[in-house]
Amino acid sequence: MKILINNFKIFLFFIILTGVAYPLFITVVSQTIFKDEANGSLLTKNGKIIGSELLAQEFKGKQYFWPRPSAANYDSSSSAASNLSPDSKTLRETIEKRASANGLERNSNDDLLYASGSGLDPHISPESAERQINRIAEARHLNIQKVGELKKLIVDNTEDRQFGILGRVRLNVLKLNLVLDEKF
Amino acid sequence: MSVLDILEIILTFGAIIVLTPLLGKYMANVFEGKITIFNKIENLIYRILGIDAHEEMTWVDYTLNILVFNLIGFLFVLTILMFQGRLPFNPQHFAGLSFPLAFNVATSFVTNTNWQSYGGESTMSYFSQMIALGTQNFLSAATAITVLLALVRGLSRKSVPEREAKTLGNFWKDLTRSTLFILIPLSIILALILVKQGTIQNFSSYVHATTIEGKDQLLPGGPAASQIAIKQLGTNGGGFFNVNSAHPFENPTPLTNWLSLLSIILIPAALTYTYGLMIGAKKQGWAIFAAMMIMLMVGTFVIMKSDLGVNMMEGKETRIGIINSSMWTGWTSAASNGSVNAMISSQAPIAGGVAMLNIMLGEIIFGGVGCGLYGMILFVILTVFLSGLMVGRSPEYLGKKIESREIKMIILAILAPSTCILLGSALGVSTKIGLSSLSHQGPHGLSEILYAFTSAAGNNGSALAGLNANTNFYNYLLGFTMIIGRFAVLIPVMAIAGSMVTKKSSPPSFGTLATDNAIFVVLLIGVVVIVGALTFLPALSLGPIVEQFLMNKGILF
């Protein structure tokens, strides 16, 4: 009986310490000094929340940059991946469909051919952005000079590897589209 | 692979090598009670709780306390999960979990497995995440550290003829020190960096947004960063969100990815140094570190090479990329962590196969916090024993004789999880109910089931997630597998600690096998690989290995 009581006491102590005090402490500090980040890096336009910088949202319009395909159907409250293996027939068929929808070669390693791990990947590679230029230019009726500016827009908005070493070069699709709407 | 990629890989492995002695020294100081201010704090806690944490425990007492403590944890988690619908901090009004699922999750988090047959953001209230799961993230890791400490004392305490050593320390003291002075401070540092980078930490309801194209988007919230920090550091691996560390709210930038990756291996690696210090022979610790590091590197590079060969971004995130996804899969499987930043199911078949092998070897390539090292020490003793047989000398480790009782316990600890993996998988592939959860045909289907039981028995928690594991069949069967995988190793280790502590230690003689040089490292790796390969090669051949060959020939399923 004593062993039960002693272990129960120490268990309760740790519940309070690690289950209550620790997360509350992190929350209070975060909400004080990193408020925006702690609340999901939300983006607003005209005072309304239009999404999070970190979560992909669906773009179907031809005048926009498109994010990577999503196995979660861009439902940010229910992240998901396809989990299809590289030798799955279903995956190969899906890739073909995406290739023809995007006008891409199906053997390329373009991000736009493959659903992301989270279904909410906010980024695409610079190459994937460049491949969308023609479509966007056509939809927005841009002249040659404007197309040049659009190309520059991609370069300007490209995020380098963090500290020059970590991760990959990428573009945030939502932020890119916001600038796109502003300038073109 | 570019120069920057290579630099990133070197930086990642290098950081572990540099941090190992630093954190290792600190942990040794904590465990040995050398920091005065910490002693004052803990004594105050023991006084308030009214427990005697200075009383030495025998191996039976110590083990009994571990079991009771974990049983309380299990019942607590089970209750909270089943009744979360009536508990606070549940802004999305998630209902309580069914018994089979709650049973599975409770065993999963108590055994440091963190297998997830549920989707975090669509199942768990904030209350459940924090109080039930978050707490177990700390306590399951700390429990394993206490077992390691008991074993260390068993090996290092000197018995003399007139006074036989019998005790292995005090469970509550070891538990308190590990949690309070190691896991919590490290988690606080990591959690705050994560938030700064964009990992969320709030108690808000999910936020409605209207996208640029005018659709409604529901953005999840929750105290994620605090939980993710300990999920990595405690080699737990259970994600706040369904897709784990692939989710941009869990792992928003390359920096968070790098730090999370380091955190997976950090404590298990540093513990090898702590071990060396505590037994009074640093080289012994480094020898174990070397064996683990070599196996980690080989496995990781095989995964990387095969993923680059397939060269598909399916299931991977743009900011993370293929190389970092491969590295993560190698580390998370070796370290009994089980978190993922890319979907293993969509990686090259051989990549999944190496991940499985890493787990099958017994989660001893760094392995879980505490349990990785105590598992590896079993293999060290086994290696000493086998070498002793080969040269015809009575085997001894750290001056203490190894006898039949220890070897029997080791065999039990190695066989129990292996049996669960093979029998469980056999049951899965030979029953209708087991097969109905599959999402792939062909060898990948076998891999899904084999991986599930491997992950459960190794207390890893990662998955070839095509398998629908939230069925009664898998929830129960995997739940029991996790329990055996944890306690059928833990109890034999405690028994070995208990018998080793009573043995007289003799100084090394001419015939003693050195356990701290390169030859021993090679021997140790050999024993680990041979035991693992003999047990699992047939199963692996039918799953990932044949799948890779068929895929290379262009055969699809």
Structure-token pair, residue A156: 């300007």
The amino acid present at B411, given as its one-letter code, is I
CB pairs under 8 A between A and B: 331
φ and ψ at residue B207, rounded to 5 degrees = -95, 135
Inter-residue contact B477 to B108 (CB < 8 Å): no
pLDDT in tens, B173-219: 999 999 999 999 999 999 999 999 999 999 999 999 999 999 999 99
Convert B273-294 to b/e letters by CB count within 10 Å (16 or more is b). bbbbbbeebbebbbbbbbbbbe
Q: How confident is the model at residue B160 (pLDDT cuts 50, 70, 90)?
A: confident
How far off is chain A from B512, nearest CA to CA, in Å?
42
**Residue A161 pLDDT > 80, yes or no?**
yes
Residues of B with Cβ-Cβ distance to A49 under 8 angstroms: 207-210
What average pLDDT does this structure show over B290-300?
98
Q: Where are the domains of chain B?
A: 3-552
Q: How confident is the model at residue A182 (pLDDT cuts 50, 70, 90)?
A: very high
User: From A66, which residue of chain B is nearest by alpha-carbon distance?
Assistant: B213
User: From B309, which residue of chain A is nearest by alpha-carbon distance?
Assistant: A86
- For the ranges A151-165, B148-162, B362-376, the lowest mean pLDDT is seen at B148-162
pLDDT value of position A107:
67
How far off is chain A from B199, nearest CA to CA, in Å?
6
**Residue B13 pLDDT > 80, yes or no?**
yes
pLDDT value of position B162:
75
pLDDT in tens, B442-458: 899 999 999 999 999 99
pTM assigned to the model? 0.95
CB contact (8 A) between residue A9 and residue B51: yes
φ and ψ at residue A52, rounded to 5 degrees = -115, 140
Q: How confident is the model at residue A153 (pLDDT cuts 50, 70, 90)?
A: very high
What average pLDDT does this structure show over A169-178?
96
Residue B248 CA from chain centroid, whole number: 23
CB contact (8 A) between residue A55 and residue B248: yes
Whether chain B has a CB inside 8 Å of the CB on A31: the answer is yes
Inter-residue contact B144 to B371 (CB < 8 Å): yes
* DSSP-derived pairing of the beta strands B396-397 and B216-219: unpaired
Classify the complex by whether its ipTM is higher than 0.90, answering yes or no. yes
Residue from B133, B331, B339 nearest B239 by CA = B339
Residues found in chain B: 557
d(CA B121, CA B143): 28
pLDDT value of position B394:
83
- From residue B398, how far is each of A171, B516, B535 by CA, in Å? 56, 10, 29
pLDDT in tens, A8-55: 999 999 999 999 999 999 999 999 999 999 999 999 998 999 999 999
Inter-residue contact B556 to A92 (CB < 8 Å): yes
Close Cβ partners of B46 (under 8 Å, ≥ 6 residues apart): B52, B53, B54, B172, B173, B176
Residues of B with Cβ-Cβ distance to A125 under 8 angstroms: 318
Residues of B with Cβ-Cβ distance to A10 under 8 angstroms: 49, 51, 69, 172, 175-176
What value, to the nearest 5°, has the Cα angle with vertex B170 and ends B165 and B172? 170
Interface probe with A: pick from B46, B123, B319, B462, most Cβ of A within 10 Å: B319
User: From B53, which residue of chain A is nearest by alpha-carbon distance?
Assistant: A6
Structure-token pair, residue A140: 């927005």
The overall average pLDDT reported for chain B is 94
pLDDT value of position B439:
87
φ and ψ at residue B190, rounded to 5 degrees = -65, -45
pLDDT value of position B302:
97
DSSP per-residue letters across B427-452: HHHHSHHHHTT----THHHHHHHHHH
For chain A positions 89-128, those within 8 Å of chain B (CB to CB) are 89, 91-92, 109, 111, 113-125
Residue from A26, A24, A14 nearest B136 by CA = A14
Residue from B296, B254, B298 nearest B272 by CA = B296
For chain A positions 65-84, those within 8 Å of chain B (CB to CB) are 68, 74-84
Residues of B with Cβ-Cβ distance to A111 under 8 angstroms: 313, 318
Residue from B339, B373, B377 nearest B113 by CA = B339
pLDDT in tens, A78-112: 999 999 999 999 999 999 999 888 777 776 778 89
Inter-residue contact B454 to B421 (CB < 8 Å): yes
d(CA B364, CA B361): 7
Whether chain B has a CB inside 8 Å of the CB on A8: the answer is yes
Whether chain B has a CB inside 8 Å of the CB on A63: the answer is no
A57, A164, A167 ranked by CB distance to B319: nearest: A167
Interface probe with B: pick from A65, A157, A163, A166, most Cβ of B within 10 Å: A166
d(CA B511, CA B493): 27
What average pLDDT does this structure show over B385-409?
92
Helices marked H in B32-134: 36-49, 59-82, 99-110, 120-123, 126-127
